[in-house]
A = this chain, B = another copy of it.
Amino acid sequence: MRDWLVHIRRNEHASLQTQIREALVSAILDGQLAREEPIPSTRKMAKSLGVSRNTVVLAYQGLLDDGYLMARERSGYYVAEKALDAVVTPKPIAKPRSEAAGSVDWAARLTMGPSTQANFSKPLDWQTYAYPFIYGQVDHTLFPLAEWRDCSRQALGKKWLGSWTNDTWAHDDPLLVEQIRRRILPRRGIMAADDEILVTLGAQNALYLLTSLLVGPKTRVAMEEPGYPDVRNIFRLQTEHVSLIPVDSQGLTLTEELNAADVVFTTPSHQFPTTVTMPLERRMELLKRAAKHDFIIIEDDYEFETNYVNEPCPALKSLDDEGRVIYVGSLSKTLFPGLRLGFLVAPKEIVAEARALRRLMVRHAPNNNQRTAALFLSLGHHDTLIRRLHRTYRTRWEIMGEALRQYMPDASRVPSFGGTSFWVKGPAHLDSEELGRAATAKGILIEPGRITFGVPDAPRNYYRLAFSSIDEKKIEPGVKLLAGLISPKP
C-alpha cells in the first residue's frame, strides 16, 4: 500500500468518506494510479487511516458505482480501465512558454484600464482581526443558515429541476419577481408590474447595466461627493463629464450644477458613505428639478431597512409621477453579498433593453440562487432576518454612538439615523490612511475615507467605522483603542 495515497484530516470541512473519495479520484484522474493498479483492501485502508471499515466500504462503493474502481472476486479493488478511457487527454504539444512570450503589446490594445481605478479593499482574513469595523460583510452569527440550507434543498428538488437548470434569459424566476413585487417594493411605497422589474447580479450589476444603456461619452452625469466609488468608476469608464455634487446633512445638495446633468445618481435612504437621509422635502424638490431640467435619477436604495429613529422615508421612486426615477435594490445587505442578487425597477422599455443587454453580459442570475431566495422570502425567513438585523444593528449603533461621544468628543459626525456605519471626521491634521495602518497593526480594521471622494486632492481626515460585522462587545473597546492612536495635535 502506498502510504501517501490518502491523508485524512479530522478537523476538515468534509466527512471522512468524502475525503477518501476525493483523494482516490484525484490520484486516478491525475495519473498517479495506473490503469488496473490494485487499491488497498477496505480493511487495510481502514486500519491504516484509523477509521471505521464502514466508512471505507461506503467510499469504495461510490467509486465502484461511478466507474472509477472495479472489483475482482477474491482479488480486491482495481482502478477501472474505463475510468481513464473516456476522458481522453491530448498530450500538451506546446513547449513551456518562453520568457520572450511577451510579443503582444497588451497595454496598447486595452480600451480601458479598470485595474488602475482606486477602490476599497479589505483583508481577506478580516474575521481574524479583533476589531473589524469594516463594511458590508455578513455577520455569520446573525444569518439563519439552517433556513437557507432548507430553502436551497427545496430549490434543488426534482420537481423544480426543469425550471432552474435551463438557460432562461427571457425572464427571471417568476417566484422571485413576485416576492420582490409583493413583499419588498410595497415597503418602499413602490408599485411595479412584472415587466418593470429585472433581477440582477447584485445592485452593482444593475448600475453597470444602466450606465451601459444611458451613459455615452457625451452624457453628463452628476453624483454625490463623497460618494460610492464603484459607481463613479463605472461612470468614468464611459464619460469624462462626471460632476461631483457636495453632500450636506440632508444628502445630495440641489446645486445649479445639477441642472446640467442628464443622469443623476443618488443614495437618498442612507447616503453613501455619510449615511445621512434625504428628507421628504428635498426629495420632492429633487423630483421637480428633474422634471424641469429633464434629467433621469438613478436611486440606489441600499440599506433602506436600517433606520433606527424615524419611519423610513418613502423611496424617491414612489414619489415619481413622471417615470424619471430608476430604482436599484440589493438583497446582498440582508442575505449575503457572496450571493450576488439585486434588482432594478424601471419603465418597461428600459427593463426590456437591460434584459437584452444582460443576456449578452451574463445571461441571468443563477437560477438555483433565484429560486432559493424566492423560497426564503416567501417563507418569511427574510422578514424574520430583517427584524433580527434591525434589532441588532440598532443596539450596535447606539453603543458605537455612545463610544464615539465618550472617546472622540472632538470628532464630528454628520447626524445619522441608521445604516450600518458611522462617518467620522477626525481632526484636520489626521491622515486616516496612516491611522488605518497603525490600527491594523493593533487588530483594528477601519476604512479610510479618501477613496469616497472623486477629486484628486480629497480630504484625508475622514474615515468610516462600520458595525455590521463586529460583535457589540467589541465596539466600545475598539473605539477606545482607536481613539488612543489619534494624536490630539499635529
Interface of A toward B, CB cutoff 8 Å: 13-14, 18, 21-22, 25-26, 28-30, 63, 66-68, 82, 86-98, 101-104, 106-107, 109-115, 117, 119, 121, 124, 127, 136-138, 140, 143, 145, 148-149, 152-154, 156-162, 164-168, 170-171, 182-183, 186-191, 201-202, 204-205, 208, 212-216, 219, 230, 233-234, 237, 262, 291, 294, 296, 307, 311-314, 318-324, 332, 336-340, 347, 349-350, 352-353, 355-357, 359-369, 375, 378-381, 383-384, 386-387, 390-391
Contacts and interface: CB of A to CB of B under 8 A. Distances in A.
Nearest to A369: B366
A87 B13 contact: no
A89 B187 CA distance: 5
B204 A363 contact: yes
A369 B127 CA distance: 22
7 contacts: A22-B378, A92-B190, A103-B323, A103-B324, A153-B153, A340-B365, A361-B361
A62 to B, nearest CB: 9
B189 A114 contact: no
B97 A323 contact: yes
Nearest to A113: B353
Contacts of A63: 380
B156 A361 contact: no
A66 B183 CA distance: 17
A368 B339 contact: yes
Contacts of A356: 114-115, 117
B115 A311 contact: no
A153 to B, nearest CB: 7
Given A22-B379, A138-B165, A380-B66, A124 B171 contact: yes
A212 B156 contact: no
B29 A87 contact: no
A379 B27 CA distance: 11
A220 B190 CA distance: 45
A325 to B, nearest CB: 10
Contacts of A29: 183, 380, 383
A212 B362 CA distance: 13
Contact of A102 (B152, B323, B355): B323
B380 A323 contact: no
A159 B153 CA distance: 18
A81 to B, nearest CB: 12
Nearest to A31: B186
Give the residue among A91, A117, A219, A383 with the most B Cβ atoms within 10 A: A383
B165 A143 contact: yes
A87 B386 contact: yes
A324 B103 CA distance: 8
Contact of A357 (B91, B114, B164, B338): B114
Contact of A340 (B318, B347, B366): B366
A187 to B, nearest CB: 5
A149 B156 contact: yes
A318 B93 contact: yes
Contact of A21 (B101, B186, B380, B390): B380
B314 A360 contact: no
Given A67-B384, A92-B314, A362-B205, A138 B166 contact: yes
